[in-house]
Chains A and B, each alone.
Chain A
Amino acid sequence: MSVLPVPSILDHIKEKGLRKALYESVDNTVERLTPGMNIQDIRDALRGDEPRRPNPRLRPHADGFWLHMRPSYYHTSVTGFYPTLRLGWLSTYFFVLEIITGLFLMIFYTPSPDVAYDNMQNILGNVPMGQFMRDLHRLGAEGMVLMVMLHMARTYVTGSYKKPRQFTWFTGMILLMTTLFLSFSGYLLPWDQLAFWAVTIGTSMAEAAPPEIVGTNVNLLLRGAPDIGAGGLLRFYLLHVFALPMITAIFLGVHYYKVILHAHSLPPRLEEVGQDTAKRAPKDWRTYFIPDIASNELAWMGATTLVMVVMVTWFYHAPLESHANPQVTPLHTTAPWYFLWLQGMLKLGDKVFMGIVVPTIIFGVLFVLPYLDLTPSRRYADRRVALSIGAVTLFIFAILQYMGTPWYGVETSASIEVAQEMIPQEGVGPVRAVPYDEYEAHITVTDNSNVLWDSTITSLKEGDDDAIDGILASRSLVITEDAYFDQTGAEITEEDFAEEPELWHILEEYHTALFEEYGEELPNAIGYISLSQQQQGLIRLALYMTWDAPELDEESKIIFEDGEAVLMLEEDGSTVRDLSGKYLYIHQESEWHEH
């Protein structure tokens, strides 16, 4: 007779006592959730004991959703650090990390040019853990791209793409593409200069796709308008948070299923060439997913998360440049690092050929690689050609990466480069990094009617060029090749700046830039740093340099003779003094030196 009119746990308690009934009830629940392993089974697995018969550790693979896409056991020879290097697992891990941190960021983000940048500042300055999550998301994105690429490289090197795993490789290539586009589409969302120009460059290649009608329309589809604006941002956002993650999730499933179907390829020495015995692991040479593989993966996950958390707490902060501005092209715009090779190629030739045709061929070949390379052997000794091609390709890519950076093939005048080096358009740079107080201690213009305004400089340029240096020197810290002077003309040394070491340091850096790095292009240069108080807590810094203008050839390149620039001369034989510079304001609170 039941206690209640319906059968309930109370009957069990009545029958078996409270303790035993509760235990059995919990045990049951655990078994249903895992599914198939009760408390004792889990305990056995964790202790490393043998499983009971029939093996309950196989049931989660057969009956459960999550583990049905993992093999129940691996061939022991593939469970070591080599050959997988855990790269596939780490790729998946980063994908999940991106989803979790991405969902957090989505809460505080609106994909509109009017507010996107404000949202970023809000996330950084007003959302608890906002910066932490954004840094994790950004660093995780870099990690994911890196892991996926390395995973592909490893698969290539060990020849694991060969029969019967051709399609696994193919889905892997799809995942590589979605990973790259996921990362790239995320680039635009902060709506800062970095985002805007990197994506402008990227999508401009789509525009170049032949024939014109295709390029124009692909460009319109991507950007939503001829130029990136509100439409483009919304499209990139939807790609980033919806379309691409969905495609990635689907093909991740296929990719994982193929691993169940074919298992990991064995080290080639364990089988004959042409054979594939991965699925036929001998009983004593099996490593079961539970507990070995699972604990291994969780340990890697924990350790990687710890590394990530340490990185974003102390060593890495995602960049945020100034607000996107279609009217201001940054001096040195670069693509994200994983597309630098493409930028390098674009410097070599035509946009259509280098930007569209060659990358299509490269990725096309990669996609069908397993169907092109039909040699059966995965042994290194038999794959000398393939490995050589791989090594050469890697080498070429490394060179192209370098060529993609501004150090290669980008020419601007030396004076602009020096100013950019001292006061970069974006980021901190040496001048901003000097604490406010140090500047305040060395104001060179106390009477503001003597400030070197931009209009003052314009009139100086138009006026008598012999007088320029005198006017600048009386209002600036002066950097000449041999010595430094203050605005009164007195020589200054490091001792005078004992309390302002950072300020002294930039004088020296300016000296290096003017006389060592760009000395040849800027003959007889003199550097000036003029400081005035514009408002309370706001200093105006003007950085100028004058030099003897060199003679230029038809391509606007400096003419050198015996390693020295030929100077431009006026009719009376005197040299022409050239002037260039840049100004900026530094506020007491802005503390560029901190970040």
Chain B
Amino acid sequence: MERKQPFMFFPSVQSRILVGLLSFTGIIIIVFWVAINEPARMQEFTERTDGRKIETGATLFESNCSTCHGNEGYGIANRAPALNNPVLFGYNFFTEQDNALAGIDAQLEAVDESDPTYTALMNEREKVELERLQVYDDLRYNYGPELAEFEAELAANPDDAFLQANVDGYTALMDAHSIVVNSRARQIEILEEMNSDEADLEVLVNEKDQLQTQIDTNIEAREVAFNDLVASGFLLRPFDPEFTPRLTELEWSGGTHAFIYSTLQSGRPVSSTYWDNPMAAWGQGAGGPLRNDEIEALSDYVMNWDREFTREDVRKIQQYAVIVPECVVAGTCAGEEGSVVEGPQLTDPLLTEDQLAYMEESMGVLNQFVGDPVNGQVIYNAQGCAGCHIVGGGGAGPDPTGLALRAEDYAAEFGYTDGSWYIAESIIDPGAYTVEGYTVLMVAPYWSDLTEQEIADVIAYLESFDS
């Protein structure tokens, strides 16, 4: 037999030891290099993850929340409050002036009236206070930039009685406001001039007092015009720059992020007393459709609206949060006339004739479809049904467990073919029958998003609760 030395990459023991040693050295160097770069890498990873969470939150917001809170989070009138909103974040528009005033007050405490710097400090203080007023007035009364829009609208609809009726009020408001603002600007200039050595103090003080009289008159005129415009419904949602932050108002002791997270997780059941659609519990822990990490992502997205708010932002807000009537908290509202904002009492909600026709058509063909409960569950969760129809009860809508059995009873009572017809009708036209103890909160868009097959699937899923 022929013997042949087998091929080896490293034939001698010494060469193998060398390979081993070199590899070992290489590994140590690389691992060391990786290790010293770890803090930076982890930091970067966390930043990236945070950014991506906001992206996820934005997508969730657009698909779940924007129907009520608006695509840009400015809220929708009479539906849901703005989240892109300085009140939520407790934004202080006067930070700069308040800090300046605090500084001046601290200095004033150290000097008495005889001190040569005293007058200068007092002047400075007055100036900052005037500046603060300017900021306030700009936020509350300045509708100047919107004037052009209004004029264009008026030009397009010259016969619109409502617009016409408010032309004078609007003009009066803007005239008075500009006089106030301009006079005050001059007062600020005067206060600055008074600091210079050559200033003729008497003349300046005189001019300032004259301006003040002018301001006082115009403030009154402006207030009258403003209140009239608000009363007539022309100026909706007047902004109060000295608002109480939402968290203070609710006596929430945690941070804003925690507040948003908790509201998303558990909903605001009390809000059914003043909104058509109460804020449902979105967290899975509370019977809703969203996972904790999704709630977290949504909170991050809402938090990202926190910034330096401007007058323009404030004007875009469509709806402010409502302060809960105290009797609601105390549970004493019932019977007290006018003390509680009634929930909506809709008998035939939101259905146009087209929609009714569609409904009849759908109901007619629905029995041709065989529902798939698995897909039904997917739709049920994706549409957010679970947010209100909480398993075990306690939600804004009836408990889905036992629904099929109850539906049979209703069907017998009202003469439907069977229980699934009753459920079908409830999905297509939520207001057709309202279960005792509930109000019609289910919104019409649900059915228009669903095909007949999908409705059949959801019904099959609901019926599976009892099988």
Bound CA–CA A481/B35 (angstroms): 50
Task: Please report the C-alpha to C-alpha distance between residue A208 and residue B356 in the assembled complex, in whole angstroms.
Answer: 45
Flag the segment in B4-12, B235-243, B333-341 that touches A. Answer: B4-12
Q: Does chain A have a CB within 8 A of B292?
A: yes
Q: Is A125 an interface residue (CB 8 A)?
A: yes
Complex Cα distance, B58 from A296, in Å, reads 57
Known contacts: A79-B8, A306-B26. The answer to whether A125 contacts B42 by CB under 8 A is yes
Pick from B55, B294, B307: contact of A536, CB under 8 Å:
B307
Given A291-B13, A310-B30, the answer on whether A540 and B58 have CB atoms closer than 8 Å is: yes
Give chain B residues whose Cβ lies under 8 Å from the Cβ of A310.
Answer: 26, 30
A299 near B16 with CB under 8 A, answer yes
Can you list, as one digit per residue, whether each of B260-274 has a CB less than 8 Å from chain A (1) or not (0)? Answer: 000000000000000
**Is there an interface contact between A121 and B291, defined as CB atoms closer than 8 Å?**
no
Query: In the complex the two chains form, is A305's CB within 8 Å of B27's CB?
Result: yes
The answer to whether A118 and B12 touch across the interface, beta carbons within 8 angstroms, is no
Residues of B within 8 A of A309 (CB): 26-27, 30-31
B residues near A586, Cβ cutoff 8 Å: 55
CB proximity to B under 8 Å, residues A431-451:
448, 451
Q: Are A584 and B52 interface neighbours, CB within 8 A?
A: no
Count, A-B residue pairs, CB within 8 A: 156
Bound-state Cα–Cα, A79 to B5, Å: 9
Please tell me which stretch of B59-67, B158-166, B245-253 contacts chain A, meaning at least 4 of its Cβ atoms lie within 8 angstroms of it. Answer: B59-67
Interface window among B17-25, B223-231, B317-325: B17-25
| Contact assessment for B6 and A292 in the assembled complex, using a CB-CB cutoff below 8 Å | no
**CB of A391 within 8 Å of the partner chain:** no
Tell whether B220 is near chain A: CB-to-CB under 8 Å.
Answer: no
Cβ of B398 to closest chain A Cβ, rounded Å: 23
CA distance A126 to B304 in the complex (A): 23
Indicate if the CB atoms of B54 and A587 lie closer than 8 Å. Answer: yes
Does B153 count as interface, using CB distance less than 8 angstroms? no
Quick check: A270 and B1 within 8 Å, CB to CB? yes
Q: Beyond A81-B9, A534-B58, A534-B72, is A302–B20 a contact (Cβ under 8 Å)?
A: yes
B192 at the interface (CB under 8 A from A): no
Given A285-B3, A299-B20, A302-B24, is A48 in contact with B14 using a C-beta cutoff of 8 Å?
A: yes
Contact A323 B291 (CB under 8 A): yes
Residues of B within 8 A of A589 (CB): 47-48, 50-51
CB atoms of A80 and B52 under 8 A apart:
no
Determine whether B378 belongs to the interface, using a CB cutoff of 8 Å to chain A: yes
Closest to A297 in B: B16
Known contacts A81-B8, A125-B45, A454-B62: A117-B293 contact under CB 8 Å? yes
Q: Is A327 an interface residue (CB 8 A)?
A: yes
Kindly report which residue of chain A lies nearest to residue B448, judged by CB atoms.
A458
B34 and A82 form a contact (CB under 8 A): no
Within 8 A of A (CB), among B340-389: 378, 381-382
> Which of A48, A303, A306, A588 contacts B13, CB < 8 Å?
A48
Q: Which residue of B10, B19, B20, B63 contacts A454 across the interface (Cβ within 8 Å)?
A: B63
Contacting residues, chain A, for B294 (C-beta < 8 A): 323
Write out the residue numbers on chain B whose beta carbons fall within 8 Å of the beta carbon of A76. 5-6
- B71 proximity list for chain A (CB < 8 A): 448, 451, 453, 455
Q: A451-B71, A538-B58 are in contact. Are A46 and B17 (CB under 8 A)?
A: yes
Q: Is the CB of A327 within 8 A of B8?
A: no
Give the complex CA separation of A76 and B41 in angstroms.
Answer: 49
Contact assessment for A46 and B13 in the assembled complex, using a CB-CB cutoff below 8 Å: yes
**Interface set, chain A 538-595, CB cutoff 8 A to B:** 538, 540, 583-591, 594-595
User: Taking chain B's interface residues, is the majority helix, strand, or loop, or is none over half, making it mixed?
Assistant: helix
Min CB–CB distance B454 → chain A (angstroms): 14
Spot the interface stretch: A127-135, A215-223, A247-255: A127-135
Contacts of B20 in A (CB 8 A): 295, 298-299, 301-302
Task: Provide the bound-state CA to CA distance between A270 and B2, in Å.
Answer: 8
Query: Is residue A535 within 8 Å, beta carbon to beta carbon, of the partner chain?
Result: yes
B13 touches A535 (CB 8 A): no
A537 interface neighbour in B26, B39, B291, B304, Cβ under 8 Å: B304
The answer to whether A303 and B35 touch across the interface, beta carbons within 8 angstroms, is no
- A451 to B5 Cα, complex, angstroms: 76
Asked if A132 and B7 make an inter-chain contact with CB atoms under 8 angstroms apart, the answer reads no
The answer to whether A590 touches B51 (Cβ under 8 A) is yes
Determine if A453 and B62 form an interchain contact, defined as CB atoms under 8 angstroms apart: yes
Question: Does chain B have a CB within 8 A of A77?
Answer: yes
| Min CB gap A550→B, angstroms | 22
Q: Are A132 and B8 in contact (CB under 8 A)?
A: no
The answer to whether the Cβ of A124 comes within 8 Å of any Cβ in the partner chain is: yes
Q: Which of A114, A302, A538 touches B304 (beta carbons < 8 Å)?
A: A538
| A129-B38 CB under 8 A given contacts A448-B72, A537-B304, A583-B62 | yes
Question: Taking CB as reference atom, which chain A residue is nearest B56?
Answer: A322
A360 interface residue (CB < 8 Å to B): no
Q: Are A299 and B19 in contact (CB under 8 A)?
A: yes
Bound CA span A285–B4, Å: 10
Q: Check if B49 is an interface residue, CB within 8 A of chain A.
A: yes
Minimal Cβ-Cβ distance residue in A for B74: A448
Q: Which of A131, A451, A538, A594 contacts B54, CB < 8 Å?
A: A538
In the complex, which residues of chain B have a beta carbon less than 8 angstroms from the beta carbon of A594?
44, 48
Asked if B7 and A313 make an inter-chain contact with CB atoms under 8 angstroms apart, the answer reads no
- Smallest CB-CB separation from B374: which chain A residue? A227
Say whether B171 faces chain A, with CB atoms less than 8 Å apart. no
Residues of chain B within 8 A (CB-CB) of A535 are 54, 58, 301, 304-305
A584 contacts B59, CB within 8 Å? Answer: yes
A534 contact set on B, CB distance < 8 A: 58, 72
Within 8 A of B (CB), among A186-237: none
Find out whether the CB atom of A587 lies under 8 angstroms from the CB atom of B72.
no
Min CB distance B70 to A, Å, is 10
B46 at the interface (CB under 8 A from A): yes
Distance between Cα atoms of A118 and B296 in the complex (Å)? 12
A86 to B, closest residue via Cβ: B9
What is the distance, in angstroms, from B287's C-beta to the closest C-beta of chain A? 16
Whether B293 contacts A306 by the Cβ 8 Å rule is: no
**B41 proximity list for chain A (CB < 8 A):** 131
**CA A534 to CA B73, docked complex, whole Å:** 10
Decide yes or no: A587 and B55 within 8 Å by CB, A296-B8, A451-B71 being known contacts. Answer: yes
| Bound complex: CA A55 to CA B69 (Å) | 85
Residue in chain A with minimal CB distance to B33: A313
Q: Are B19 and A303 in contact (CB under 8 A)?
A: yes
B14's nearest neighbour on chain A, judged by CB, is A48
* List of B residues within 8 angstroms of A80 by Cβ: 6-8
Chain A, Cβ-Cβ closest to B449: A458
**Known contacts A298-B16, A453-B71, A587-B52; A124 and B8 CB within 8 A of each other:** no
| Minimum distance in angstroms from A270 CB to a CB of chain B | 6
Chosen A-B contacts, 5 in total, with CB atoms closer than 8 Å, are A48-B14, A302-B22, A323-B294, A534-B58, A537-B51
Chain A residues in the interface with B (C-beta under 8 A): 45-46, 48, 76-82, 114, 117-118, 121, 124-129, 131-132, 269-270, 285, 291-292, 295-296, 298-299, 301-303, 305-306, 309-310, 313, 322-323, 327, 448, 451, 453-455, 534-538, 540, 583-591, 594-595
Ranked 8 nearest A-B pairs via Cβ: A80-B6, A589-B51, A302-B23, A590-B51, A587-B51, A299-B16, A585-B58, A125-B45
12 additional A-B pairs beyond A81-B8, A309-B31, beta carbons within 8 Å, are: A48-B12, A78-B6, A126-B42, A269-B2, A291-B13, A305-B27, A327-B381, A454-B62, A535-B54, A583-B59, A584-B55, A587-B54
